Structure 1
Amino acid sequence: MADILRVTTPLNGQDAASRVRPNTNQDPTTNINNTINPSRVPGNDRKDLNNDQDTNKFSPHLKSNFDSFLNKLASTPGMSAETARLFFTRYGSIVSSGMSGGIAAEMAKYLQMMKVTDAELLNLLKGMQGSSVKFTGSFFDIIRDLMSNKNVSGDAKALMLEFLRRYDAITANDHALKNILSNLNNIADRMMKSSGDKLREMAANIDTTAGKGNVSGNLAFMRENLIPLLSNYIAQTKDYGSVRDNISLFILNFARYEMGGKEAFSEALNSLLGIPEISSKVSNSLIAELADSIFAGAKGDKAHLLQDQLVNILTKGLDGQAGYQNTQVFQNILQSALLNESVYMPLLHMMFPVEYNGRQMFSEVWVDPDSDERNEKEAGTAVKLLVKFDIKDLGFFEMILLVQNSKVDMQFFYPEGLEPMKGQIKDSIFAIMERNELKFRSYMADKCAQPKAISDVFHKLFEGRNMVNVTA
């Protein structure tokens, strides 16, 4: 009889479904390589817990977050190298693509801002250093020494910590306010349209020009208008999803912004100066210097302006405004910047772009202010630096410095095209060192065959392996 459930009639003897299979009881495969024998020590299984590529095994992921950081650090191109690549090789195609009203105009403005004189170059370096490390200077050196002193009372250390929290909050006012506005925008995107439009209308009244420490006006407005609106929305809609998650982020940034009030900071500073160990070491000039570093209008500083302009360019580039074929360059710049600000990075990092004497240059510096490679026969701490810079029409340079007690060990690497000028380069470098009252302990110069990885220069990076192995 034809099988009406099939399209065609199968030939006899060839239908696998019609075959009678014996019902045999077979032991299931247990995949045990070595059976357990209590009278002897068994050998190792062939299973490998480190092999997390086999989808049939449920082995744990043994790599820590720190290992992931090192892998990314080794594979991610340098920030200065990628920025030079963007402006030296990609800039012309972006401008000629007809986008002069968007990212091309931002890039042209950035190049114009790069032009510096001798005095501006020094101020730019100081500005970059100040923006990279917040707790620097003689004032904070005194606090560090007292915090590590076992003879200082716990109450005094508590006052120091409170001052540091207030200082961190007041110097981060602008950043906290930007986060608040971003949180409110994310909340409005996830709310019902009528409520979201109302929230955006209210958020537009936040004063984004408020100076550092002047937080009372914005705080009062948010307490009286924004927080009740968000509270009523959750009570009415019972929306416990992404809206409430973003509201939690908003409250965290609100609390940080609230800690940065000028009055609270002044009170914490006065309490700190009431500690005898502090008042006996801190002069009025140090306090004035501290106040200037907070309230001296850092928004107009050229270092901050350059950083803000680069952020604008990256934002537009990641949106594809420079062409999607260039998006990877912007991603590399952003990832490199974030890696150098990681909690695992124990180095001071600076990146500064300049046009000096008609030459465009993108430079990147890593500094270890307390290197363990110090010469025990010399006095003082050792400072180690890695400097990378790319000069247009010249090429890529690299320099490794170890400075201790005004004595310098230097390794200098230059583009291959400058090999005939090797002697002239040496004479110029020695003249610069002598002018700054530094002496060479050792000097080596060679062609730059391959840029060095940061981990090859600073072995301190690997100290993170001694930490707790935390996996993602």
Structure 2
Amino acid sequence: MADILRVTTPLTGQDPATKVRPNVQDPTTNINNVINPNRVPKNESKGLYNDQETNKFSPNLKSNFDSFLHKLASMPGMSAETAKLFFTRYGSIVSSGLGEGMALEMSKYLQMMKVSDAELLNLLKGMQGSAIKFTGDFFDILRGLVGNKNLSPDAKSMILEFLRRYDAITANTHTLKNMISNLNNIADRMMRNSAEQLKEMIASLDTKAGNGSVTENLARMRESIIPFLSAYISQTKDFGSVRDNISLFILNFTRYEMGSKEGFSDALNSLLGVPEVSSKVSNSMVAQLVDGIFSDMHSDQAKMLQSQLVTVLTKGLEGQAGYQNTQVFQNILQSALLNESVYMPLLHMMLPVDYNGRQMFSEIWVDPDSDERSEKEGGSAVKLLVKFDIKDLGFFEMIMLVQNSKVDMQLFYPEQLEPMKSQIKDGIFTIVERNDLKFRSYMAEKCAQPAPVSDVFHKLFEGRNMVNVTV
């Protein structure tokens, strides 16, 4: 007869057949802070960042700004990665025969780096101009007026309208490239016949139109491209990626339209009609502003270098330099994008040059209004971090604070230059004095480990005081 009271079947020889084994569950040992309705329990000991624990699905509360700081601390420098690519891997890429076009583009980039004394200065100015454009005495005056509580609302409105027009007209070339990219993305997602028609319309646009010369391109877009896109959506009811790219195109179109020469001229004349502005702005300031928009003297070589580097990176990411080198190209691109982040409050410049037969890749970060200034000295302070890698010589790093023509400098040099430490000091002192500056402090030693940007500029952490979001 079966034993109906038996709950579990024991193993043979381990349990008497007549003994009933109770089905007892082991008490759970991982319960923290058992709820007591008579008391307020303390918080659980586990944290909210245990995302990597097994079977743990706690929310990730790290903000975008925290992610930016983490990437900034761990990301290799753009100049160091570029130097690695051209100094140590360039020969193997060329000799391996992987992608003849890749070797040609890299050699072209190296050829463009060759500069003389005057060209080096113009290149640096071009890099600065392409990095930031709201600089100079003219914009300093406008900043002071906008911050004045006694300024009339109409005058403030005219200043803001001028700034919008100025931003739009100086970005004409970039905005046009964005629109063409939007249109090409739309064509790639269209039916074949419609895509061919759209590509013909794209080819009719003037891609070499300068700042302010937007009339012809706007007319072609209004007369052909925009009606064509509208008709396509009406016929196909395509509300997917095509419509999303059309929305991006319209946003760029609006900005491009705002950057017309006539609109900027009207905004500038209205601004100069404000008494608070006309009393402080000189004719030379206005002439310099206008010349900077339409002549763009110093940035041609800088733009060519940047464009050629983008070409090299594109081919490298496609594997044309060998897939073993793909990570280097990714590091360069990620570093460039990170330094252009909205969270980066510093002016960043990349300066690749071949000067007097010596190749150098340099990276510069500038804080034009450092909070590390001495209150005793008075006046604003400028802080710089300069990293540069010189072929066959090594890696250098310089941290400098300048206030009232007085300099605090920390210089880190390659270990092989230790015997020349005194000569380096004499040379630097000569350069500083030649530029009417004086040393307040100077320190030089071997470079053991490159410093992260976040360790040099503590202003980066001010973003923690703002609203952080998580996506």
Which TM-score bucket, shorter chain as reference? Answer: over 0.9
Distance 2:235 2:93 in 1: 50
Q: Which residue of 2 aligns with 1:130?
A: 129
**Counterpart residue number, 2:102:** 103
**Tell me, what secondary structure is at the counterpart of 2:319?**
coil
Contact 1:401 1:408 in 2 (8 A): yes
Contact kept in structure 2, 1:299 and 1:305, CA below 8 Å? no
Deviation (angstroms), 1:32: 5.4
Question: Which is further off, 297-306 or 28-37?
Answer: 28-37
User: 1:30 deviation in Å?
Assistant: 12
* Distance in 2, Cα, partners of 1:353 & 1:115: 9
Instruction: Provide the C-alpha distance between the structure 2 equivalents of 1:293 and 1:172, rounded to a whole number of angstroms.
Output: 13
The percentage of aligned residue pairs carrying the same residue is 77
1:417 matched residue in structure 2? 416
Cα shift at 1:434: 1.1
1:70 Cα deviation after fit: 0.4
Q: What is the 5 A alignment of 1:258-273?
A: 258-273=257-272
- Looking at structure 1, the residues matched to 280 and 384 of structure 2 have their Cα atoms a distance apart, in angstroms, of 31
Deviations 1:350-386 (A, max 9, x none): 1111111110000011111111111111132111111
- Mapped to 2, the partners of 1:43 and 1:375 lie a distance apart of 46
How many angstroms apart in 2 are the aligned matches of 1:55 and 1:278? 64
How far is 1:40 from its partner?
2.2
Task: Please state whether the residue corresponding to 2:360 is helix, strand or coil.
Answer: strand
1:319 CA drift (Å): 1.3
1:373-388 aligned within 5 A: 373-388=372-387
1:144-293 correspondence to structure 2 within 5 Å:
144-293=143-292
CA contact (8 A) 1:371 1:381 kept: yes
1:96 aligns to what SS in structure 2? helix
- Using the TM superposition, give the Cα deviation of residue 197 of structure 1 relative to its aligned residue in structure 2, in angstroms: 1.1
Residue number in structure 2 paired with 1:448:
447
Specify the SS of the correspondent of 2:89: helix
- Paired with 2:336 and 2:81, the residues of 1 have a C-alpha distance of 11
| Comparing 53-62 and 433-442, the one that deviates more | 53-62
Aligned to 1:296: 295
> How far has the Cα of 1:48 moved from its partner?
2.7
Question: Is the Cα–Cα contact under 8 Å of residues 298 and 304 in structure 1 kept in the other structure?
Answer: no
Amino acid at match of 1:146: L
Aligned counterparts of 2:32 and 2:454: Cα–Cα separation in 1: 41
CA distance in structure 1 between the partners assigned to 2:165 and 2:464 by the alignment: 32
CA shift digits 1:199-224 (9 cap, x unpaired): 11111101111121111111111111
Number of equivalenced pairs: 453
Q: Structure 1: which 4+ aligned runs deviate by more than 6 Å?
A: 28-31
**Residues 185 and 245 in structure 2, CA contact (< 8 A), matched pair in contact too:** yes
Q: Residues 43-66 of structure 1: CA distance to partner in whole angstroms, max 9, x if unpaired? A: 433443221223534322110100
- Structure 1 vs Structure 2 CA RMSD: 2.1
Instruction: Tell me the TM-score normalized by structure 2.
Output: 0.92
Distance 1:186 1:179, change over 3 A: same
Residue 332 of structure 2 corresponds to residue 322 of structure 1: no
Structure 1: which amino acid aligns with 2:212?
A: G
Distance 1:290 1:182, change over 3 A: same
Q: Deviations over 1:96-139 (max 9, x none)?
A: 12256412111111111111111111111111111111101111
> Would the aligned equivalents of 2:122 and 2:298 in 1 still touch at CA under 8 Å?
no
User: What is the match of residue 400 of structure 1?
Assistant: 399
The amino acid that maps onto 1:346 is: P
Partner of 1:347: 346
The more displaced of 299-308 and 256-265 is 299-308
- Counterpart of 1:145, as a letter, is G
Listed as ranges, the gaps of 5+ residues in structure 1 are 1-12, 15-21
Secondary structure at 2:115 match in 1: coil
Structure 1 residues 31 and 115: CA distance shift in structure 2, 3 A: same
CA change 1:152–1:205 in 2 (3 A) is same
Q: Does the 8 Å CA contact 1:399/1:410 hold for their aligned counterparts?
A: yes
TM-score (norm 1): 0.92
Find the counterpart in structure 2 of residue 8 from structure 1. Answer: none
Which residue number in structure 2 is paired with residue 113 of structure 1?
112
Query: Aligned letter for 1:402?
Result: L
Q: Measured at CA, do residues 390 and 295 of structure 1 come closer, stay the same or move farther in structure 2, by a change above 3 Å? A: same
